[in-house]
Structure 1
Amino acid sequence: MIVAEVSGKPSVLFVCVHNAGRSQMAAAWLAHLAEGRVEVRSAGSDPGAAVNPAAVEVMAEVGIDISAESPKALTADAVREADVCITMGCGDACPVFPGKRYLDWKVADPSGLGPEAVRAVRDEIRALVEGLLEEIAP
């Protein structure tokens, strides 16, 4: 199991370009499913102006409210503080620090997609998050 030295909890950072869809949904799923057992953050290399409304809508359908979230800029400190850094299939490169685990989840970009397609992305992300959670905080 991966454990952060400071808090005693594993820490995960989700990264995508705009931090407006995939990484926001992934962070919300992990926070929801982990119930406080994992520190969760998300960021983007070129943060958008707001979270994708379709992502907000489909997450609300499963009882998770991300409407108050806002895209955040990726920093070296955010990567340094994470035990696991996950890029969301968008080609973003995180700064590399020894001792970190880096994953790339090839997930479709929900930008410009309708709710039906974004639901499929949401459900794919949930399955990936469940697998990660089982690994890092069973």
Structure 2
Amino acid sequence: MTDATVDPATTDRPTVLFICTHNAGRSQLGAHLLSLVAGDRFTAISGGIAPADAPSPTTVATLAELGVDASHAFPRAVTPEDLQTADVVVTMKPGLTLPGPVAGELVEWTFPDPANWNEDGVRELRDHIREAVTGLAERLRPTATA
């Protein structure tokens, strides 16, 4: 689940943190899709460098097409504590300036910013991110995919 209130230190599941600029599109997709493909085998959280006021409506709509309710999600700032407690930190674009060092594994992906995209464009991005997330889940724990 992508609940920002989950304390990764209180769970034995690996924590995967997805980061993008606004935490409104790409990182929301990453966290929600990891929860979809891997169930509760990971703690999936997300954050942004400069969070938006709300998630992208097209992101929420394209997740709903897969049966994922992201209507409760909200953008939040990634913190130095997030970077220290996450087992894996996934940046959704290269060159992000993080608020501190990463203690776990750092994975850097390159996905375009879907700001102002229509649902067809976000749907295609969602599917590419789902493929990447599925591969990550398989690599981290082969039995984690559904």
What are the residue-to-residue correspondences of 1:38-53 with 2, within 5 Å?
38-53=42-57
Q: Which residue of structure 1 lines up, in the alignment, with residue 139 of structure 2?
A: 135
**Percent of paired sites with the same residue:** 37
Q: Which amino acid aligns with 1:78?
A: D
Q: Which amino acid aligns with 1:84?
A: V
From the two aligned structures, give the one with the greater helix fraction.
Answer: 2
Number of aligned residues: 134
1:6, distance to aligned residue in structure 2 (A): 5.7
Q: Does the 8 Å contact 1:10/1:137 carry over to 2?
A: no
CA distance in 2, matches of 1:84, 1:32: 18
Relative to structure 1, the CA distance from residue 5 to residue 46 in structure 2 (aligned partners, 3 Å threshold; closer, same or farther) is closer
Relative to structure 1, the CA distance from residue 97 to residue 62 in structure 2 (aligned partners, 3 Å threshold; closer, same or farther) is closer
CA distance in 2, matches of 1:44, 1:63: 24
Relative to structure 1, the CA distance from residue 97 to residue 122 in structure 2 (aligned partners, 3 Å threshold; closer, same or farther) is closer
Q: Which amino acid aligns with 2:101?
A: V
Q: Which amino acid aligns with 1:74?
A: V
CA distance in 2, matches of 1:103, 1:93: 14
Q: Which residue of structure 2 lines up, in the alignment, with residue 93 of structure 1?
A: 97
Q: Which residue of structure 2 lines up, in the alignment, with residue 56 of structure 1?
A: 60
In structure 2, stretches of 5+ residues that fail to align are: 1-7
Q: TM-score, normalised by structure 2?
A: 0.86
The runs of at least 4 consecutive aligned structure 1 residues that moved more than 6 Å come to none
Q: Does the 8 Å contact 2:31/2:44 carry over to 1?
A: yes
In structure 1, stretches of 5+ residues that fail to align are: none
Higher RCO, 1 or 2 (CA under 8 Å, sep at least 6)? 1
Q: Which amino acid aligns with 2:115?
A: S
Q: Which residue of structure 2 lines up, in the alignment, with residue 122 of structure 1?
A: 126
